[in-house]
Amino acid sequence: MIAEELINQMIPSLRPEDPVSRAQTLMEELRCSHLPVVENGKFLGFISEETIIENSDRDKLINQFQLTGENCVVAAESHFYEVVRVAGENKTQIVAVENNLRLYAGSITVSDILTTFSQSAAIQMSGSLLVLAIDLMDYSLSEIARLVEENNAKILSSSLIQDPVNPAQNRLTMKINQTDLSRIVATLERFGYRIVGRYQEIRITDTEKERYDSLMRYLNI
């Protein structure tokens, strides 16, 4: 999924000469905290709800306010992981998108990204999560995948981040299409891999579901 396909067509853009009252009205209607400001097709930045609230003069023009997130922009062909990275670096809930002519093409909200991610095949398919602590020099996803596949399983998705506890190491999180990770864990540990987390999917029986539904009906009385 690329940025161009994630653009939220419901997010309007503002002009520098628009009154701040228009921005405030749109934010209230759309329940958003930032809106893009565009001039002659060029993205200038976002005006934030916080900035507007700090100034009570609704007759002021947007060009009289300090914009934020001028660099919070991605190319239309960027992968949605890049959109997430840019949003995280700029600590914002919205990212602007530019086409190949460097003209504003639209905006993407973090909520849109999460919705897309949650609908991906790797998330929808049943399975479990396995987390390894690993030195980057020892990291080989192909080798780990081989060991997983020896146990008749597949890695559906994976992510590698710096270990928050030990910055010298990394943490590899894998979504595996098995609910029972015992054999996989035993194999990985036999080859020297350190398991720091395992989150196995719990299958709810019909009886447990009936009890849950009864509880929900009781709480709604």
**Which residues, listed in sequence order, are joined to residue 170 by a DSSP beta bridge?**
134, 162
Q: Which two tokens stand for residue 204?
A: 């709810």
Predicted confidence pLDDT, tens digits, the chain (221 residues):
789 988 999 999 999 999 999 999 999 998 889 999 999 999 999 999 988 888 767 779 999 999 999 999 999 999 877 888 898 888 888 999 999 999 999 999 988 777 766 655 555 677 888 999 998 888 899 999 999 999 999 998 888 888 777 777 899 989 899 988 999 999 999 999 999 988 865 444 455 455 545 555 545 54
Give the Å distances, CA to CA, from 42 to 14, 109, 185, 195. 11, 19, 52, 48
94-143 pLDDT tens trace:
999 999 999 999 999 988 777 766 655 555 677 888 999 998 888 899 99
Give me the pLDDT at residue 206, please. Answer: 54
Would you list the domain boundaries of the chain?
Answer: 3-117, 122-199
| Of the options 3.40.50.620, 3.10.580.10, 3.30.1280.10, 3.60.20.10, the CATH number for the domain spanning 3-117 | 3.10.580.10
Architecture of the structural domain at 122-199:
2-Layer Sandwich (3.30)
